[in-house]
Amino acid sequence: MRFPLKVAIRFLMSNKLQTFFIILGISIGVSIQVFIGTLIDGLQKSLIDKTINNSPQITITSTTNDGIIDDWEKKILLVKNSDSRLKNIAPAVEGSAFIKEDNKSYPILVRGFNLEESDKIYNIKNRIYDGTWILQRDIDGSKNKILIGQDLNRDLKKKSGDIIKITTPTGNVEEFVISGFYDLGVSSINKSWVITDLKTVQNLFGLSQKITSIEAQIQTNSIFMANSVSKNVKYNLNSTDLKVENWQEQNKSLLSGLSGQSTSSYMIQFFVIVSVVLAISSILAITVIQKSKEIGILKAMGIKNGPASRIFLFQGLILGILGAILGVSFGIGLTVMFTKFAVNSDGTPIVQLYLNSKFIIFSGIIAIAAASIAALIPAKKSAKLDPIEVIKNG
């Protein structure tokens, strides 16, 4: 085993420039694979974080005409016990209303939450850019507090502490104090949602102890299993009056886009691997011809076909290891540079840096395996060399 390895190293060192270009070629292929794969992983994670992770992935609503869910505490308990992959579950109540300001009407959706529980889903607290998210009543108990979205306030032009009137479709008018302003990153939500606590909305719309939806999140590592989780929730609730929806059903275009990104990434990586294999096998095949005299002499000295073949297998393995190390380093460097230079107007990266160690290690292993497989062709060719013919023909 040592002898073929020593000969392989000597062959590689005898033509350092050729060896360098082979390693460079492998490293470029690996770096492209790591860069493209990491970039797409980062893009997918960024999209998921912005559109899915800060919103409910499972939503339970009523199919009755009034859209009301009774006895919701018991139903939330059933949801919790339906699947271990669920992590955050919260009730919500909502109703359509409008705000009148300067002879204009602004349609809104008043949403009531158990704020501590719903914050785990929407991350409301960290998205308030002005004011506070504390929504208790004033000291005299006369007014409730609300949060207003960034886009809606562009029209209203209010400040924290200002009083605003909300009118329901039944004509009920109530005054609220603006506690703060939020930005959930979705224009349609920022334009329409007015957020307050659960009891306030129940009183505003005369819903007593009822709610209109139950919202839940799935553990991050199970996010693409939403269909399976929602089936378990539906089975456990066992009610024809309740509708269970999940983010995969509600965001089919997004899911299709994510799948398309993954498919394109796999295709690019596949063709990169194929090009690496073809390049290495062709170059090592030429090396067999270049070193045929040396191999013939070694065979004449008694080396058998097996060790002669292993010389080129070791060459492929060495080239693959060196190319993989260099390529992974290049790929990570390119990704880091991209996130530093490709930024939004506020200085944040267009695509968040996300280094998946498993993917990076896998890319390196694939490169080593590809180089080793590519070496099989010249290895077989070297085994067929006749030492007498090679020495005789020079």
List pLDDT tens digits, range 351-361.
777 787 888 88
Q: What is the pLDDT of residue 268?
A: 74
Helix, coil or strand: residue 328: helix
Over 70: is that where the pLDDT of 289 sits? Answer: no
Tell me: pLDDT of 258 over 70.
no
Residues 367-392: tens digit of each pLDDT: 788 777 777 776 776 666 666 665 55
pLDDT of residue 109: 95
128-142, 161-175, 303-317, 361-375: which has the minimum mean pLDDT?
128-142
pLDDT in tens, 76-86: 999 999 999 99
What pLDDT does residue 254 have? 66
Residues 324, 31: Cα–Cα separation, whole Å: 8
Look up residue 295 and give its DSSP letter: H
Over residues 174-187, the mean pLDDT reads 89
Average pLDDT in the chain: 81
Q: Which two tokens stand for residue 289?
A: 């011809």
* 311 vs 172, higher pLDDT: 172
Residue 223 DSSP one-character state: G
- pLDDT category of residue 14 using cuts at 50, 70 and 90: confident
Whole-model pTM? 0.68
Enter the tokens of residue 101.
């300001």
Looking at residue 298, its pLDDT comes to 65
- Tokens for 330, please give them: 């290049």
Query: For residue range 188-238, what is the model confidence (pLDDT) as tens digits?
Result: 899 999 999 898 999 999 888 899 999 999 987 787 888 899 999 999 998
Where b means 16+ CB within 10 Å and e means fewer, 161-176 reads eeebebebeeeeebeb
Separation CA 179–CA 369 (nearest Å): 61
User: Are 35 and 269 contacting, i.e. CB atoms less than 8 angstroms apart?
Assistant: no
- Determine what percent of the chain is predicted with pLDDT higher than 70: 81
pLDDT for the residue 248: 81
pLDDT over threshold 70, residue 36: yes
Q: Which helix (H) or strand (E) holds 145?
A: strand 144-149
Highest mean pLDDT among 5-9, 165-169, 268-272: 165-169
d(CA 277, CA 238): 55
pLDDT in tens, 100-138: 887 888 999 999 998 888 998 988 888 899 988 765 544
Encoded tokens for 275: 């090009």
